[in-house]
Copies of this chain bind each other. A is one copy, B any other.
Amino acid sequence: MDVLEAIHTRRSIRKYENRPVPPDAVRQLLAAAMTAPSARNGQPWQFVVIDDRALLDACADICPNAAMIRGAPMAIAVCGDLDREGSEGYWPIDCSAAVENMLLAARGIGLGACWCGVYPRPHRIEGLRKLFGVPERVVPHSLVVLGYPAEAFARQDRYREERVHCNRW
């Protein structure tokens, strides 16, 4: 799929078919995420791949914005690794780029995904940390809920001329 087509037809998908995502597709998503740019190329990320039903359901209890995970076959928690930051304070930005790559890769290989924010909400961070056993120097940043889509991707063009300024405001 063309990259511009992927960008403009990516949507938050919250309904999924009742079938698992194969391991090679999961690897493609992770490889796309890990190829994201990061400050001084620090690549300060870690990933928890979740396909355990009890753990998936527990995520919804911790993150109210991730209710759709109850009907999903899997999710990937993207986490920032504070000991791997290339430039101090940039890990949340770097992890965001990794998530966006993952969402676009998912679109490209026919998967649906929904980005559920974790950081900077302390309750969600600590809840997921405890759930997955994430070490102290690693911070859960986002939960990407994934599966084969059971709803349509619709094209979007959110271009708004009034948000664009030329040289000066």
Residues of A within 8 A of B (CB): 1-8, 10, 12, 27-28, 30-32, 34-37, 39, 43, 45-52, 55, 87, 89-90, 92-93, 96-97, 99-101, 103-105, 107-109, 115, 117, 119-121, 132-135, 142, 156-160, 163-169
Copies in the complex: 2
Most chain B CB atoms below 10 A, which of A89, A120, A158: A158
Pick the residue among B10, B32, B157 that contacts A31 (CB under 8 A): B157
Give A50 to B166 CA distance when docked, in angstroms.
Answer: 6
A34 contacts across to B, CB distance below 8 A: 158-160, 163
What are 12 A-B pairs with beta-carbon distances under 8 A? A3-B107, A3-B108, A7-B105, A8-B35, A30-B159, A48-B165, A48-B168, A51-B166, A87-B117, A92-B93, A93-B142, A132-B169
Interface residue SS majority, chain A: mixed
Asked if B96 contacts A35 (CB within 8 A), the reply is: no
Asked if B48 contacts A167 (CB within 8 A), the reply is: yes
Asked if A104 contacts B168 (CB within 8 A), the reply is: no
Give A2 to B135 CA distance when docked, in angstroms.
Answer: 37
Give A101 to B102 CA distance when docked, in angstroms.
Answer: 12
Give A163 to B103 CA distance when docked, in angstroms.
Answer: 19
Given A47-B164, A92-B93, are A159 and B4 also a contact pair (CB < 8 Å)?
Answer: no
